[in-house]
């Protein structure tokens, strides 16, 4: 069961079941506390999604979005305006599993899916 640590009126990010399973396995392999979801200026459309393993989340910089026994997902305060409402998914493409971001705030994405604009 997922314990949400934000109020319904606050920004949020969700995970598909396949993304939850995939990312939980990756966190266990890395022995990390959780994942940090952020954005950085990059690419042909302005911003790039970033998912990093995190060991020492900052209460000033990171907002806890998902906090349960298996998975902790943090979002940086700076990224919130860009990722509010985003669903993180994991899909199989050929032999690879790929993380996809379904972002309702995105007005354009590059052809390879690496960058977006709002």
Q: How many domains does the chain have?
A: 1
- 2 belongs to a structural domain: no
pLDDT at residue number 113: 58
CA angle (38, 72, 95) in 5-degree steps: 75
- 8 belongs to a structural domain: no
- 9 belongs to a structural domain: no
pLDDT single digits (tens) 68-118: 888 999 999 889 888 989 999 999 988 999 999 988 887 666 655 566 677
CATH number (domain holding residue 77): 2.60.300.12
pLDDT single digits (tens) 36-65: 999 998 767 688 889 999 998 888 888 888
Looking at 1-118, which runs of residues are DSSP E strands?
Answer: 14-15, 34-42, 46-54, 62-67, 72-76, 87-93, 96-102, 108-109, 115-117
- 4 belongs to a structural domain: no
- Predicted TM-score (pTM) of the model is 0.80
pLDDT at residue number 114: 63
- 56 belongs to a structural domain: yes
The bridge status of strand 115-117 relative to strand 46-54 is antiparallel
How far is the C-alpha of 82 from the C-alpha of 80, rounded, in Å?
Answer: 5
List the alpha helices (DSSP H) in the chain.
Answer: 17-30, 80-83
Range of the domain at 75: 14-117
């Amino acid at each position: 069961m997922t314990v949400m640590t934000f109020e319904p009126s606050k920004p949020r990010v969700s995970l598909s079941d396949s993304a939850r399973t995939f990312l939980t396995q990756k966190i266990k392999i890395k022995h990390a506390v959780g994942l940090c979801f952020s954005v950085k200026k990059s690419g042909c459309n302005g911003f790039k999604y970033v998912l990093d393993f995190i060991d020492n989340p900052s209460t000033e910089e990171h907002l806890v979005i998902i906090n349960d026994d298996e998975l902790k997902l943090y979002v940086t305060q700076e990224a919130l305006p860009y990722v509010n409402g985003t669903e993180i998914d994991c899909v199989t493409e050929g032999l690879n599993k790929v993380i996809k971001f379904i972002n309702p705030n995105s007005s354009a994405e590059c052809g390879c899916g690496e960058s977006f604009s709002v």
